[in-house]
Amino acid sequence: MRIHVECYAGYQGEETPRRLSFDHRVVEVIDVIDRWLAPDHRYFKVKAEDGATYILRHDVDSGVWQLVMFDAGRAQAGLP
C-alpha cells in the first residue's frame, strides 16, 4: 500500500519517519523500533500513537513509501 510519510531529517541528513498518512488517516510515529538497509530500499519498523506497529519501505531512487506490514497488536484488542 502506498502511503505518504512526513520525515525529520537529522543532522546527518538521514530521514526518519514522523507521521504517516493513508486511507484518510494521519498517525504520529512515537518510536522507531528498528531500521535496516537493502540494496535499493530503506526499511523502518515504527510504533505509532494508535498503539500499532508498522513496517515502512522507502524506495531510495523513486522516493516512494510503502506500508509493508501492519500489526494492530494490543491497539485494537483493547488490551493494556
Domain boundaries, position 23: 2-77
**Average pLDDT value for residue range 24-49:** 94
For residue 39, the one-letter residue type is P
Question: Please, how many CA atoms are within 13 Å of residue 39, restricted to the half-sphere of its CB?
Answer: 0
Query: Which three three-digit cell numbers place residue 3?
Result: 502511503
pLDDT tens digits for range 46-78: 999 999 999 999 998 898 999 999 998 765 554
**51, 74 in Cβ contact below 8 A?**
yes
H-helix or E-strand spanning residue 61: none
pLDDT, mean over the chain: 86
What domain count does the chain have? 1
Predicted TM-score (pTM) above 0.75: yes
Beta bridge partners of 58: 42, 65
In angstroms, what is the C-alpha Rg of the chain? 13
Q: How confident is the model at residue 12 (pLDDT cuts 50, 70, 90)?
A: low
